[in-house]
Structure formats: C-alpha cells, structure tokens
Structure 1
Amino acid sequence: MTGKTFSSVWLREPRKPTSPGRSREEIVRAAVELLNEEGLDGLSMRKLGAKLGAGATSLYWYVANKDELLELVYDEVWGEMRVPDADEVGWREAASVLAHSMRRVILDHPWAADLIGRLPALGPNALHVANEMRKMFKQAGFTGLDTDYAIATLTGFIFGMTIPEVAWNSTSGHEQVDLGEMRSLLLQVARRFPHMREGFELAEMEDPRVVRAVAFDFGLVSVLDGLERRLAT
C-alpha cells in the first residue's frame, strides 16, 4: 500500500513572471493583506485576483493550488520573527527574544495559528528560524535528539499559550463580549469553588491583555529554567 505523494511549493523552482510588475512576491504580499483583513475563510484565488487586478486563472501560473499559496504566506510570517545570534547574546536571551517575537507574529497574523502543524514549514524563512533554534540549543549544551526535544518544548509552550489567545481575541472581537458581565457570571459559577473564585477575583483587577503577557513571560522563564536545570543534571 502506498501513501499519498508528498508535495510542497518549495520543492520546485518558482516560475518566472508572465507579465511586467507581476511576481510571486507581489502575490504573497497581497495574500497576506487579504488574510489579515478577512482570515482564512476569506481567502480565495478569485478575491486575490480581484485585489491584484488579475484573473484568478493567471495566479495558477505561480501556484498550483490554494495550499501552495498558503505555504508561501505561512513562510512570509516566519520571516517577521526576530532570531538573535546566540553566539552574541547567549542561548537564553536568544530563545527569549524569539519566543516573544513568535507570539507577537502569531497574534498579528491570527490566521497563521490554523496553519501550524497543518502545512510543511519548508520555506527559507521557517528553515532559518529552525536552524537558529538548533544553533541556540546546541550552544546551550544539548546534543543529539535532546536538541530536538528542547526545540519541541519551547515551541510547544509558545503555541500552547498563544493559539488559545488567538481564539479568545477572535471570539471577543466578533461577538463583543461584555467582560464585566462575563466576570460576574464566572464568580457566580465558581461560588462553590473557593480557589477558582479567588483566581477570578484576582484576574478581575488586571487588564486581560496584561495578564496574558505576564503569564507568557512567567511560563517562558520557567521553561528556560527547566531546560537549563536539565542540562546541569
């Protein structure tokens, strides 16, 4: 039994433009703008063609299908991430800056959260980030598969903290949730659970965005502390 043939836009050379002023880079930039405005459900080759003033069929010269287009825009956002040189700033500082940058990029492009793990990250920007992550953890002292486990631990934390935040922002943005009313209801629901009620009361004193940012930083420092301690043992 044979599996599905693996394919990726990055496994072939990009086709040359068919007309002056049109390029794959231009198409990708327009697609990112459209995604930021309308999300994944709002992206179609027809809409993208209209935005570019071109027919949808002409776009298929550059990408074979919508999945290939998504691979290109996915790599575009990886290019926005900051990856300091671990040789210059040390592995912990490099990991910290990258983590905060990765969170910010995902929040700036919430549609990208739905592509994580779904599309192959084989573009030059994604491979650059992955390469620098390996470098920083090797500099820290990890070897062999432990290097990959350390990368998975860091990215798992980043995605695990950020993707629910994207979902929350999306829900609250579209439905205009009344935070005061929601907190009041939560306190009622938790009245028989004193520890949870205490948590809700404490959270009520802070801006939710500040709480999430502080929680991310707290967790990141804890993850890096844990990885550093693992090296020591």
Structure 2
Amino acid sequence: MPVDKKQPIPSVWTRPQRRKREQPALSRSQIVAEAVRLLDEEGIDALSLRRLGTRLNAGATSFYSHVTNKDELIELVVDEVYGEIEVPDAEGREGWRGAAGGCADSLRAAMLRHPWMASVLGGVGAAYLGPNMMRISEAMVGMFRTAGFPADEADAAVSTLTAYVIGMAVSEAAWLTLLARGGESEQEWMERLLPAAEEAAQGHPQLQEQYAALREKDPRETRDAKFAYGLQRVLDGLAVRIDRTGG
C-alpha cells in the first residue's frame, strides 16, 4: 500500500478523519468492542474486516469512516485493552514500589485475559499513540518521577518494567493459547508432562528435585509466584538506582 506523505506515520491515530456525509450506522466503539470479542473467542487468525462485518451484520461502508484496514483495527483493539490497565496513585515518594507493582499486575492480567495480544504487540504501527496508551504512559512516567528518577531516566524505568511484564506475559499467553486449542487444563497438562520430565531428568538431581516439587503445586499458582519473584527483583534494581541518583 502506498505511503500517504501527508500522514506523519501510518496509524489510525494520525490519519485525517474522513468526512461523514451521513451518520454511520455503527460507532467506532461498537466496532472495536465486537472486534475484541471476536479476538477473545477465535484468536488473531480469525480477525478480518469481512468477518467482523458479518458479526455486526454490516457492510464495509459502515466501517469506512472509522477504520480502513486490518492494521488500523488492530491499533484500535490494542488501545482498547490498554484501557483496562490501572496505574495506582503512588501517594508520595515512598509509595512508588506498590504503585509500580500494581500497574505491572494489571498489565499482565489484561494480556492474559486477551492472549491474542501476545502476537500483535510488536507490530502495532510505528508508535503507540492511542488515548489509553497516552494515559498509561503519562501516569507511569509521573510515578517514576515522583519516586525520584531524573526526568531523563523516568522513561527508561517505564520501559524496563513493561519489558519484563510483556516478556513474561507473552510466554504465558502463548502457553494458555496452546492449552485452549488442545482442550486441556494446566493441571491436566502437567499431570501428563511431569512423568516424562522426571524421566528426562535422570542424572540431574537438582532438576529432579524441582520436578518433584511441582507435583504438589497448582500450575497457575506457580506461574503467579514466578512472575511475582521476577517483578520484585526488577523493582529491587530500580530502587537501587533511585538511591544512587539521590532520589
């Protein structure tokens, strides 16, 4: 598709709005809400404007003023999910760690509610310019500024935290999607996997010990604990940096 040089970057957020000769039958919010439902039910491979139009009982002209292609639609649904994320108020310099942890938990939870997010985050336009992403970014930068980070480091701190969360959540989402396709629960999968893993670990006593311990644990609780452990270590590192900068 040729690049529109009048548009700063190819994004639904920078494209000039088309003139509406008449009130469209569908609102942008209706289109986006149904697209999210389609993605949650059937995954990213099922998403198309044609499929969405069928679900909404609407033709292509109903979408025209709101979204012109699949890439724009993905930008919209991603920002819609970001609208579910909460950034708690740090309530002063000493509260930054709890606020950062709450934000991280909220981001992870949103991604696990919508596992298809894992496959699109790397390709959502050239920038995240949606209103919900702007709200979250502003709040997180403010949180780290309040914590004591200098202005030129606050954004890097945000990137460090979100990179950890997204990295972990992408792996979890892929795992949960695989399970859903196979129709198995995490517990059922682990019950089938562990005997083979224990057999493969013969001669590796530390791995044998770890696998044996997993028999007594709920797989979801194990995932939660691993995420929480890594999150606290990331926050430990950020706290050290705050101390060194005199924050």
Q: TM-score, normalised by structure 1?
A: 0.91
Question: 5 Å matches for 1:181-220?
Answer: 181-220=192-231
Aligned to 1:12: 15
Between stretches 198-207 and 83-92, larger displacement belongs to 83-92
Aligned to 1:30: 34
Between stretches 165-174 and 143-152, larger displacement belongs to 143-152
Q: Give how far 1:85 is off.
A: 2.1
Q: Which amino acid aligns with 1:10?
A: W
Between stretches 220-229 and 121-130, larger displacement belongs to 220-229
The whole-number CA distance in structure 1 between the counterparts of 2:156 and 2:10 is: 26
Does residue 1:43 correspond to 2:47, yes or no?
yes
Deviations 1:184-233 (A, max 9, x none): 00001111211122111112210110011111112112211221112212
Q: Give how far 1:154 is off.
A: 0.5
Among 149, 155, 160, the alignment partner of 2:162 is: 155
Deviations 1:19-55 (A, max 9, x none): 4651111101111111111111011111110111101
- Counterpart of 1:73 in 2: which secondary structure? helix
Contact 2:149/2:242 (<8 A) preserved: yes
Gaps of 5+ in 2: none
Deviations 1:45-91 (A, max 9, x none): 11110111101343233211110011001100000001112246821
Q: TM-score, normalised by structure 2?
A: 0.86
Does residue 1:114 correspond to 2:125, yes or no?
no
Among 214, 221, 226, the alignment partner of 2:232 is: 221
Aligned to 1:78: 82
User: 1:4 and 1:20, CA in 2 relative to 1: closer, same or farther beyond 3 A?
Assistant: closer
Aligned to 1:100: 105
The whole-number CA distance in structure 1 between the counterparts of 2:192 and 2:53 is: 43
The whole-number CA distance in structure 1 between the counterparts of 2:38 and 2:22 is: 23
Contact 1:17/1:24 (<8 A) preserved: no
The whole-number CA distance in structure 2 between the counterparts of 1:122 and 1:144 is: 21
Between stretches 116-125 and 36-45, larger displacement belongs to 116-125
The whole-number CA distance in structure 1 between the counterparts of 2:41 and 2:21 is: 26
Q: Which amino acid aligns with 1:27?
A: I
The whole-number CA distance in structure 2 between the counterparts of 1:24 and 1:117 is: 23
Gaps of 5+ in 1: none
- Counterpart of 1:216 in 2: which secondary structure? helix
Q: Which amino acid aligns with 1:54?
A: A
Among 183, 186, 190, the alignment partner of 1:179 is: 190
User: 1:83 and 1:194, CA in 2 relative to 1: closer, same or farther beyond 3 A?
Assistant: same
User: 1:161 and 1:116, CA in 2 relative to 1: closer, same or farther beyond 3 A?
Assistant: same
Aligned to 2:139: 132
The whole-number CA distance in structure 1 between the counterparts of 2:35 and 2:17 is: 17
The whole-number CA distance in structure 1 between the counterparts of 2:4 and 2:24 is: 37
Percent of residue pairs identical = 43
User: What is the aligned length?
Assistant: 231
User: 1:4 and 1:90, CA in 2 relative to 1: closer, same or farther beyond 3 A?
Assistant: farther
Between stretches 197-206 and 185-194, larger displacement belongs to 197-206
- Counterpart of 2:123 in 1: which secondary structure? coil
